[in-house]
């Protein structure tokens, strides 16, 4: 199976899983998607589709773990900066800070 066939099958399988979640009015999130894909994998008789489902599940799981680590790092960084105000510097910190009124 070449790359474009693999990508097409991957898209098709993810699409099937998402559509089934939507048709049940269930939550559409990473956990629900992985669970649905695992269910599809367990029932799948076609070896090519089953192997592709395994790869898709592994990739989504890995991406979710990476995302959680990044989010955890951001939360830690945010908690370290809690004492700072919520002002976002548009032009960096090189501008002179002055207490005199301009207007």
Confidence at 102, pLDDT banded by 50, 70, 90 = low
Indicate the pTM of the whole model.
0.65
Confidence at 68, pLDDT banded by 50, 70, 90 = confident
Q: Do 13 and 56 touch, CB atoms closer than 8 A?
A: yes
Query: From the centroid of its chain, how far is CA 57?
Result: 13
Between CA 44 and CA 67 the distance in angstroms is 29
Structural domains in the chain? 5-70 (1.20.5.5260)
Query: From the centroid of its chain, how far is CA 25?
Result: 21
Q: Do 44 and 50 touch, CB atoms closer than 8 A?
A: yes
Look over the chain and give the mean of its residue pLDDT values, rounded to a whole number.
82
| Residue 95 scores a pLDDT above 60 | no
């Amino acid at each position: 199976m070449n790359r474009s066939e693999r990508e097409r099958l991957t898209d098709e399988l993810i699409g099937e899983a998402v559509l089934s979640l939507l048709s049940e009015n269930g939550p559409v999130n990473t956990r629900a998607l992985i669970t649905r894909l695992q269910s599809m994998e367990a029932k799948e008789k076609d070896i090519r589709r089953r192997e592709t489902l395994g790869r898709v599940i592994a990739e989504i799981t890995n991406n979710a773990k990476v995302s959680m680590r990044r989010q955890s790092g951001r939360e830690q960084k945010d908690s370290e900066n809690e004492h700072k105000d919520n002002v976002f510097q548009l032009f960096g910190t090189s501008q002179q800070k002055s207490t005199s009124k301009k207007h």
